[in-house]
Amino acid sequence: MARNKVEICGVDTSKLPVLKNEEMRTLFRSLQTAGDRSAREKLVNGNLRLVLSVIQRFNNRGENVDDLFQVGCIGLMKAIDNFDLSQNVKFSTYAVPMIIGEIRRYLRDNNPIRVSRSLRDVAYKALQVRDTLTYRYSREPTIHEISEALNVSKEEVVFALDAIQDPVSLFEPIYQDGGDPIYVMDQLSDDQNKDLHWVEEIALREAMGKLNNREKLILSMRFFEGKTQMEVADEIGISQAQVSRLEKAAIQQMNQFIQ
């Protein structure tokens, strides 16, 4: 996204008007009571800066800024057409989620990963219900509330919403503090298939084999069965202090063998 771009979709963003709250309420009254289309047009033009602020959140997607702006404007117009003055909520508070939702739907529809139409329909309905319930309750609704409103199972809602999540590149940076960035792939590993994990298991088994039977029993009860030193002491008939001493000595012996 070109951050210094002044003109988007033929609109000079430096000359966009800004409406005061009372002006907006007056225009909404004209639109909702008299169906004044000129009031609607003024509301759209007066809130285009809101669309610009929202699309900045998506400036790392590589999407055309003109396309995002147009889609954001669709979300803005939907917000204007559905805004309820009686709720005593700022228009921007209501409109921003609507604009974001519209842009996210656009990005999902253009996602290279194909999701079945039926699953995508459930997901979009769930998102619409979520927006409606958020506006109604002034909070994020639970999955249970969304599933009840849609009359589908909670599992189906979760599965559908997960299916339309945007993919994340393994090379996307997640942290950088002046030095080399840390990428998503740096935080992923397959511990089950790493050669180092396999070698460590062999070394651990061999080290255990060097212990006497009582030491093996103590370590097994402590670290494989999750028992406390006091429970181990009661079962094998020695003091807790002796268990602690034997456990420590066994671990030191194993460390020496492995190293």
**3-class secondary structure per residue, the chain:** CCCCCCEECCEEHHHCCCCCHHHHHHHHHHHHHHCCHHHHHHHHHHCHHHHHHHHHHHCCCCCCHHHHHHHHHHHHHHHHHHCCHHHCCCHHHHHHHHHHHHHHHHHHHCCCCCCCHHHHHHHHHHHHHHHHHHHHHCCCCCHHHHHHHHCCCHHHHHHHHHHCCCCCCCCCEEECCCCCCEEHHHHCCCCCCCHHHHHHHHHHHHHHHCCCHHHHHHHHHHHHCCCCHHHHHHHHCCCHHHHHHHHHHHHHHHHHHHC
50 and 90 housed in the same domain:
yes
213 and 120 housed in the same domain:
no
Q: Give dist(CA 91, CA 94) in Å, integer.
A: 5
Query: Cβ(179)–Cβ(172) under 8 Å?
Result: no
Any domain includes 185? no
203 and 105 housed in the same domain:
no
149 and 203 housed in the same domain:
no
Helix axes 195-209, 240-258, angle to 10 degrees: 130
Residue after which a domain boundary falls, among 144, 163, 182: 163
| pLDDT given for residue 121 in this prediction | 84
121 and 223 housed in the same domain:
no
Q: Count other Cβ atoms within 10 Å, centred on residue 105.
A: 19
146 and 220 housed in the same domain:
no
155 and 204 housed in the same domain:
no
Any domain includes 30? yes
Any domain includes 187? no
Residue after which a domain boundary falls, among 141, 163, 185: 163
Report the DSSP beta bridge partners of residue 3: none
The domain that holds 199 is classified in CATH as 1.10.10.10
Beta strands 7-8 and 11-12: pairing type?
antiparallel
204 and 145 housed in the same domain:
no
141 and 95 housed in the same domain:
yes
In Å, the largest CA–CA distance within the chain is: 91
Any domain includes 180? no
Any domain includes 1? no
Low-confidence ranges of the chain (pLDDT < 70): 1-13, 60-62, 111-116, 165-181, 183-203, 258-259
| pLDDT given for residue 77 in this prediction | 92
Q: Give dist(CA 122, CA 154) in Å, integer.
A: 11
| pLDDT given for residue 1 in this prediction | 42
CA nearest neighbour of 100 among 137, 58, 142: 58
Q: How many independent structural domains does the chain possess?
A: 2
135 and 93 housed in the same domain:
yes
The range of the structural domain enclosing residue 240 comes to 195-258
151 and 203 housed in the same domain:
no
Any domain includes 184? no
Could you identify the residue written with the tokens 């990963």? 113
Q: Give dist(CA 103, CA 44) in Å, integer.
A: 17
Q: Give dist(CA 196, CA 1) in Å, integer.
A: 43
| pLDDT given for residue 2 in this prediction | 44
CB burial string 128-142: b at 16+ within 10 A, e below? ebbbebebeeeeebe
The domain that holds 73 is classified in CATH as 1.20.120
70 and 150 housed in the same domain:
yes
